[in-house]
Structure 1
Amino acid sequence: MSLSHSTNRNADDQAARWAAKLDGGPLSATERNELDAWLAQHPDHRILLSEYCQFSTDLEAQLPLLVASGQVAMPETVHPRRIGRRVLWFAGALTAAAAALTVVVWSGRPAVQTDAIATSFAERKTLRLADGTAVEVNARTSLLVNLDRTERRVRMADGQAFFTVAKDPSRPFIVETPAGSVRVTGTVFDVHAENEAELEVTIVEGSVQVRPSSSNARPTPAPVSLIGGQQLIAAPDSVSCRSLAASEIEDALAWRHGEIVFTGATLDRALARFSRFHGRNISAAPEIASLRVGGRFRLADLDGFLNAIEAFLPVQVSRDSSGAIAVRSRPSR
């Protein structure tokens, strides 16, 4: 199925309109439902929207330079209903002035930066890169930062980080993980990757392109475009994408405030999160590993979490002399 010429023109206008709305601030619940319905109408809609969101980001950074250099003139006031055509006009102007813009921007670029960043058990860190990008790093995360004159690349061996990327359309920002990569020029997003087969990317604002890697059970998937309020989860045998409510985004990013939220997570996965954060050996017996856990917990309060699961689940917790923690089924009385 392909879009006809008239439908394609309408899709461009709709994509430009939604890109402008997204750039203007959070959508209302009604607008989010309308956007989801439009995206579901045709697979090309999501690609178009991602392109227009990216173009809006590029335009915001480049327009002052283009005007100052005399390469383009600001258009006259345009009626809101013609916002799609206004965006297309700017696109043509940007193409015509690309060579001049390269000269204008080059002298203002930051120096090259190469840096290794790592956090230990129960440690979180906030830092700012040479380009102005802010990075919040969760516990037990390893990053290798390489900023040069053509691109900005962060290699995440494992862990979790939240990026507020400084806008620079001439230098894409790429986060590489063993489970896939994320490409942007300026946006706010979270990347969680603790092994070679699983990747979770949550977008707060802007747009990104995620390219999950292949695995033995999953062939190389096509790149996936995401916008603010969406989340991609790549598992060993599947890749899924969904829209999140504001409360769900807050839950996904609770680690930034030292918390973790479980909504029906299996007990073994919940224990694994605390095990990783604290660097402790914590295990669940096979017969209780699939029990479900829910609630909001302080990551630093391991004892509080263990007390909670003993109170609400049929389990008991034991510790040995090495500090290892075992969670087993509670004996019948």
Structure 2
Amino acid sequence: MGDSADRSDGDGFEDDLDPISREAVDWFMIRHADGAAGADDATFRRWLESDPRRRAAYADVERLWSGAADLPLVAARRRAARAKLTRRAFGKTALLVAAGGGGGWLAHRQHWLADHRTGAGERKSVALPDHSTVELSASTAMSIEFGASLRRVRLHYGEAFFSVARDEARGFDVEAAAGRIETREAAFNVDYIADDDVRVTVAERDAAVRLGAQRTLLGPGRRVAYGRRIDAVEDVDPAVETAWRDGRLVFVSQPLRRVIAALDRWRPGKLVLASAEIADRPVTLIVDVARSAAIVEALEDALPIRTVRLTHYLTLIFAA
């Protein structure tokens, strides 16, 4: 387990984190990564039991992460933005910021029993019993429920493109967060970033988006977003919205927080936005998913930001 951390502007920040704390964060991220159930368990146990300080450090990481909802995140982010921090303050702040950005990431761990899953950077095509197909983007999970009178898919998280075969007797529903997409025959994309940030884009025919009492019908080239309510319909280019199917991610004037969440699907570890003031800054960017290792560099080229790679699995992003 390495103990080096990188900082893009190279002023020695990497030396401020205690090596044992850094190793604890590394192990936590490894053991909570997609597809990591049971991975390296024996090696982890040897590391954990070889030194009481390691056990204590790992317990600190678990406690901070699981208690993220109650942590003083604003104060933590302010501390993280200071030019210099003590070793103790930086280590604590890094974990606080990571915890604040990790709620959705940890939620992914609740779906090990999903029928189909992809890990970071992976894609998968699934043939359904009715001859419909689903293309799963990276870091995505879904479950299927088919019967004599229903065709239903639950998108637990991630992004997927649905090509729905017509069935006169059964509709086709996709559930994502609190909403539902309904059709009998259509091709459409569902991008589930968070419970309050789901986007549906129709490429062919039509589909309806339902959220509570709201219902919006979408035709080809139309997109809608929903969270607590369904937003206004927008005209979009489906080829741009689904460019991930061809190995590219295209962002046009998208808020940085959403860009980071989408990029996180394609690389191991976690990108955490530590400066709240730039969360809604618009970003226009094209990324080749085959070069996922260069994602952070692409962000740095496109925006006035600086990054701290705390471990191989955790990178913090600050306003420059």
Give TM class, smaller chain.
0.5 to 0.7
Unaligned runs of 5+ in 1: 1-114, 213-219
Residue 130 of structure 1 aligns to a residue whose secondary structure is: coil
Residue 239 of structure 1 aligns to a residue whose secondary structure is: coil
Counterpart mapping for 1:316-331 below 5 A: 316-330=306-320
Counterpart mapping for 1:109-124 below 5 A: 116-124=115-123
Identity of aligned residues (%): 27
Residue 293 of structure 1, CA deviation: 1.6
Residue 235 of structure 1, CA deviation: 3.4
Residue 283 of structure 1 aligns to a residue whose secondary structure is: strand
Greater displacement, 314-323 / 140-149:
314-323
CA contact (8 A) 2:123 2:136 kept: yes
State the match for 1:217 in structure 2.
Answer: none
State the match for 1:310 in structure 2.
Answer: 300
1:258 to 224, 247, 250: 247
CA contact (8 A) 1:179 1:193 kept: no
Deviations 1:231-257 (A, max 9, x none): 11113355221222xxx2111001112
Deviations 1:237-284 (A, max 9, x none): 55221222xxx2111001112211111122232122112332422122
State the match for 2:101 in structure 1.
Answer: none
Residue 300 of structure 1, CA deviation: 4.1
Larger radius of gyration: 1
CA distance in 1, matches of 2:209, 2:198: 10
State the match for 1:301 in structure 2.
Answer: 291
State the match for 1:130 in structure 2.
Answer: 129
Residue 287 of structure 1, CA deviation: 3.7
CA distance in 1, matches of 2:175, 2:256: 29
State the match for 2:209 in structure 1.
Answer: 210
State the match for 1:280 in structure 2.
Answer: 269
TM-score, length-scaled by structure 1: 0.57
Task: Compare relative contact order (CA 8 Å, sep 6+) and give the higher one, 1 or 2.
Answer: 2
Residue 169 of structure 2 aligns to a residue whose secondary structure is: coil
Residue 150 of structure 1, CA deviation: 1.3
CA distance in 2, matches of 1:308, 1:199: 25
Counterpart mapping for 1:119-268 below 5 A: 119-212=118-211, 220-236=212-228, 238-244=230-236, 248-268=237-257
State the match for 1:59 in structure 2.
Answer: none
Residue 187 of structure 1, CA deviation: 1.2
CA distance in 2, matches of 1:236, 1:197: 6
| Structure 1 residues 172 and 238: alpha-carbon distance in aligned structure 2, compared to 1, 3 A threshold | closer
Residue 231 of structure 2 aligns to a residue whose secondary structure is: strand
Residue 308 of structure 1 aligns to a residue whose secondary structure is: helix
CA distance in 2, matches of 1:297, 1:186: 31
Give the aligned length.
Answer: 206
Unaligned runs of 5+ in 2: 1-113
Alpha-carbon RMSD across the aligned residues, in angstroms, is 2.0
- Code of the aligned partner of 1:162: F
